[in-house]
Structure 1
Amino acid sequence: MPDLGEPGLYLTKVSTLANARDTVQDFTFGDADLRTLELAGTQLTTGRIHSVHAQRVEFETMNLHGIEITGSDLGAARWSESKLTRVTIRDTKLLGATFDSLVLDNVLFENCRLDYATFTNVRATGSVVFVGCILTEAAFADCDLSNVVFSDCTLRLTEFGPGRYRGADLRGNDLTSLRGLPHLAKVRIDVGQQHDLAQALVSELNIAVGDD
C-alpha cells in the first residue's frame, strides 16, 4: 500500500488534478465540493485525495501509482481503461459506480460504499482486498478476480457473473443472498458457510421447500 508518511516525502497541495502535462506527482488534493471531476489520459503518482465531493465523475485511461483516496463521495463515477497500482480507497462512497476494463495491482478498498456498482472486465494482477465494504446489489461480469479477498463485507444480492474467481476468499461474510453461484467454482469459504451457499442457491433457483 502507498506509504505517504515516509521520511523526506513532501506532498504539495494542488487545486486541481488536471494540468498540461497530464502528470501530477507528490501531491495532496482535497476539501473540494465539485460539480464535475473529469480526467482522461492522466497519471497520478504518490499522492493523497481526500474529502472530495463530486456530483459527476469521469475517469478514463488513468494510471494511478501510490495513491490514497479517503473520505470522499464520488457518486456514480464512471471509471474505465485504467490501471491502479498500490492504491488505497478508504471511507469513500461510489454508489452506482461503473468500473470498466480496470487493472488492479495491490489495491485495497476499505469501508467503502459500493452499492449498485458494476465491475466489468476488471482484472486483478496483484493483491486486491475488499474490507468492510457494502456491495449491495453490486455486479461483477467478465472479471478475473482470482485470489481476491472479501472480508467482513455486505454482499446482499451481490451478483457474480461469468468470469474467473478461482481462489477468491469469501470467508467472514454472509453469503446467504449471493447471486451467480454457478460461476464461483473453486472459491474459498469457511465450513460454516456451506449452509449460507445452500440457502443462496435455493433462493436464486426459486426452489420451493416443503412437505407437501
Structure 2
Amino acid sequence: MRTTTVGDVTILLPDLDPEDLDQVSDLPDDDLHDGLVQAASWRGRQIADWSIRGCRITGADLGEIAWEGGALYGCEIVQTDLSGAALTGVSIERCSVTGSRLTGIRLIDVRLKDVLFDNCRFDYATLNRVSAAGSVAFIDCTLVHGTWSSCRLSGVVLRSCDLSNLELDSCRLDGADLRGSRLHAFAASLDNLQGVALTEEQLPELTRMAIDALSIDVRADSARGHDR
C-alpha cells in the first residue's frame, strides 16, 4: 500500500509495477485492466460505461475523449494530454495524475476519492457537481480561468496552486487547505470557505474577497482636519 500526505490529508495511491502490466496500444472494446499505455493516441474517442483499473498511462493523447459512466481505479496517469476531454458520471478512485494537461476539461457528476493531481494544468476547466468522497489534493497545479459549479469539495487540498480568476458558484470548499496558492481574482462565496487554511501572505486577497462580497465602499478619509 502506497500513501502520500499533503498537509493534514493522507491519500491512498496506486502501487504499480510496469513489469506486471501488459503493453496496450489500441483502445480495447471492453474494460481495460492491468495495462501499460505508452504514447498512445485515443483523441476524440467516445466510450461509455467503461472501466480502467490498475493501469499506467504515460505520454498518451486522450484529448477530447468523451467518457460517460464507468470508473477509473488504481491508475497512474503521467504526462498525458486530456485537454478538451469530457467525463460524465465517472468515478475516480485511488489515482494519481502527474504532469498532465487538462486544459478545458469538463468534469460533470464526477466522484473523487483518494486522488492526487500533481503539477497539472486545469486552466479553463469546467467542473459541475464534482464531489470529494475522500481525500483529494491538487499540488502545484494551474487552475486559472476555470468555472466550478455545485461542487462538494469540503476538505480538498489546493497547495501551491494558481487559482487566479477561478470562479466558484455554489461550491462547498469549507475546510480546504489553500496554503501557498495564488488567489488573484479568485471568486467564491465567503460562506463556502468556512474553516479554510491560509497563510498570512494570503490575507490581503481574502480581505479583497470580503470587500467585494459585502459591497464595502472603501474611501479616503476626507473628514480629516474638518469638523466631524
Q: Same fold (TM over 0.5)?
A: yes
Deviation, structure 1 residue 192: 3.4
Q: What one-letter code is carried by the residue in structure 2 that aligns with 1:114? A: F
Q: Which protein shows a greater Rg? A: 2
The correspondence for 1:15, drawn from 25, 30, 39, is: 25
Is the CA contact 1:176–1:200 (under 8 Å) kept in the aligned structure 2? no
Match of 2:59 in 1: 51
Deviation, structure 1 residue 55: 4.4
Is the CA contact 2:51–2:71 (under 8 Å) kept in the aligned structure 1? yes
Corresponding residue pairs, total: 208
Is the CA contact 2:26–2:40 (under 8 Å) kept in the aligned structure 1? no
Instruction: Pick which of 180-189 and 74-83 moved more.
Output: 180-189
Gap regions ≥5 residues in structure 1: none
Gap regions ≥5 residues in structure 2: 1-12, 223-228
- CA RMSD in angstroms comes to 2.0
Q: TM-score, normalised by structure 2?
A: 0.83
Q: Specify which structure has the higher proportion of strand.
A: 1
Is the CA contact 1:181–1:201 (under 8 Å) kept in the aligned structure 2? no
SS at match of 2:61: strand
CA deviations over 1:85-106 (Å, ceiling 9, x no partner): 1111111111111100011010
Is the CA contact 1:39–1:62 (under 8 Å) kept in the aligned structure 2? no
Deviation, structure 1 residue 175: 1.9
CA distance in 1, matches of 2:41, 2:67: 17
Q: TM-score, normalised by structure 1?
A: 0.89
Distance 1:5 1:31, change over 3 A: same
- Percent identity over the alignment is 32
CA distance in 1, matches of 2:214, 2:46: 42
CA deviations over 1:78-132 (Å, ceiling 9, x no partner): 0110101111111111111110001101001111110010111111111100011
Distance 1:156 1:210, change over 3 A: same
Is the CA contact 1:177–1:203 (under 8 Å) kept in the aligned structure 2? no
